[in-house]
Structure 1
Amino acid sequence: MPLYRDEAIVLRTHKLGEADRIITLLTRQHGLVRAVAKGVRRTSSKFGSRLEPFTHVDLQLAEGRNLDIITQAETLSPFSSGLGADYERYTAGTVMLETADRLVAEEREPSVQQFLLLVGGLRAMASGERAPGQVLDSYLLRSLAVAGYAPSFDHCARCGTLPSEGNRHRWFNPSMGGILCATCRVPGSASPAPDTVAVLGALLAGDWPVVEATDARSLKEASTLVSAYLAWHLERALRSMAYVER
């Protein structure tokens, strides 16, 4: 069987038979890959904890008919060690893994940007330098943008007009792609506070000084809108989101 190497993030695992597991991976060069780790559930397994969710690994795989087979695994970054001891960071990290799994729908299709974004997001989450909710919201907005669902937080998402000086666009609707002017407003649109709209743009751009200077109320409202925008474009809410405080 042909062999290939790639680096990957372990997204999830499933039991297979008495000792094996199916590992779902987001790889750098091969996109979403499902592979078998033989004997990984035995105490004598050579893989040990290298194929647990959140782990950044360097792999050698053998191409199979339906599922590839993992033949070597070396840990590059054990993000699980920085997330497992903190419930808030762990649950937020779980949402990141599920989001990546859903957004990279096509197996074997390269998705380098999504891979690098997930590695960077998990590294920031595990470091503990920033609030978990803010890291998560920034990751979700950026991953949606990379997938082609970039929200608009300045010009009207429908007609493209910029707000006039002193008059902001007041409405937000996930189905329309973000902020709307009064003319383009549709029923059911939210009317977020100006600081909320500003921090949404900062989260998307990675402008952390603006994010960290924003009050808790605006951050919470922003998180609600990010969750709604994500659920709309994924067509249903993530299961793991239910465990995250929003």
Structure 2
Amino acid sequence: MSLYRDAGIVLRTHKLGEADRIITLLTRERGVVRAAARGIRKTTSRFGARLEPFMHVDLQMGEGKSLDFITQVVTINAFARDLGADYGAYTVGCAMLETAERLVADTAEPSVPQFTLLVGALRALTERREDPGLILDSFQLRSLAIAGYAPSFEACARCGVEGPHTFFQVAAGGMLCDRCRSAGATAPSPATVQLLGSLLAGDWPTARSSDDRARREASGIVAAYLSWHLERGLRSLAHVDRYS
């Protein structure tokens, strides 16, 4: 039996047989891994709540023919405990987990930066460092950038001429100058463009100073941009409380 050790974030779980579960994790070294947790649904299971979504854990796993299997689990950060009491933060966290799984599962190589970004975003969310909606939008933009889909909010996404520019088009990859503008482009407010740039760069003082109107518009753009690259939207976003 070949064993290996890795750190992971539990993304989701589902039942397997009468007593087992399949645990889907984003791991540091192996990307998205699906592994069986045997007997976890029994009251005597030694794993218990350590393999619930959001848990940041250190695992020992064995390589199986169709599924790896978990032999040991140690909690690193119990993010699930902190998010369970706050519905707004919980739904934002669910959108983060789905984003991470969708972006990493389709790649051939694991991504340590994606794993590190998710751990940091969940920590910021549980510690209430910023507005949950801002944390989500920043996480999704930066996750897209790591995956190679960084939007341009300053230079024209087509010709590269420096801005500021007026028009944004999802399919083009960001802001467009007047010459490159094409059908389907929108004209977000300058405050929204500034907010989007600050969320991508991690400029929290600027993001924090934004108003609800800019935040609403920015969230819509981030969701549309993410859906374009994933080829379909996130189911979890329907439950996220947006700015009223």
**With structure 2 as the length reference, what TM-score do the two structures score?**
0.97
Match for 1:230: what amino acid?
A: L
SS in structure 1 of the partner of residue 229 of structure 2: helix
Name the structure 2 match of 1:221: 217
Shift in Å at residue 183 of structure 1?
Answer: 1.0
SS in structure 2 of the partner of residue 104 of structure 1: helix
Name the structure 2 match of 1:45: 45
- Is residue 2:198 matched to residue 1:191? no
**Aligned to 2:196, which of 195, 200, 204?**
200
Task: Give 5+ residue unaligned stretches, structure 1.
Answer: none
Name the structure 2 match of 1:126: 126
Name the structure 2 match of 1:26: 26
Match for 1:207: what amino acid?
A: D
Q: CA-to-partner distance for each residue in 1:5-41, whole Å, 9 max, x for gaps?
A: 0000000001000000000010001111100000001
SS in structure 2 of the partner of residue 57 of structure 1: strand
Name the structure 2 match of 1:97: 97
CA contact (8 A) 2:36 2:69 kept: yes
SS in structure 1 of the partner of residue 105 of structure 2: coil
Matched length = 242
CA contact (8 A) 1:32 1:107 kept: no
CA contact (8 A) 1:32 1:108 kept: no
For residues 7 and 173 of structure 1, the distance between their equivalents in structure 2, rounded to whole angstroms, comes to 38
Q: Any residues of structure 2 matched to 1:35-114 within 5 Å, and which?
A: 35-106=35-106, 109-114=109-114
Shift in Å at residue 129 of structure 1?
Answer: 2.0
Match for 1:203: what amino acid?
A: L
Shift in Å at residue 190 of structure 1?
Answer: 1.1
CA contact (8 A) 2:6 2:60 kept: yes
Name the structure 2 match of 1:231: 227
- Is residue 2:214 matched to residue 1:244? no
Task: Give 5+ residue unaligned stretches, structure 2.
Answer: none
Shift in Å at residue 108 of structure 1?
Answer: 7.3
Match for 1:58: what amino acid?
A: D
Match for 2:33: what amino acid?
A: V
For residues 83 and 101 of structure 2, the distance between their equivalents in structure 1, rounded to whole angstroms, comes to 19
RMSD: 1.0
Match for 1:217: what amino acid?
A: R
CA contact (8 A) 2:104 2:110 kept: no
SS in structure 1 of the partner of residue 51 of structure 2: coil
Distance change >3 Å, CA 143–CA 107, structure 1 → 2: closer
CA contact (8 A) 2:31 2:105 kept: no
- Is residue 2:157 matched to residue 1:177? no
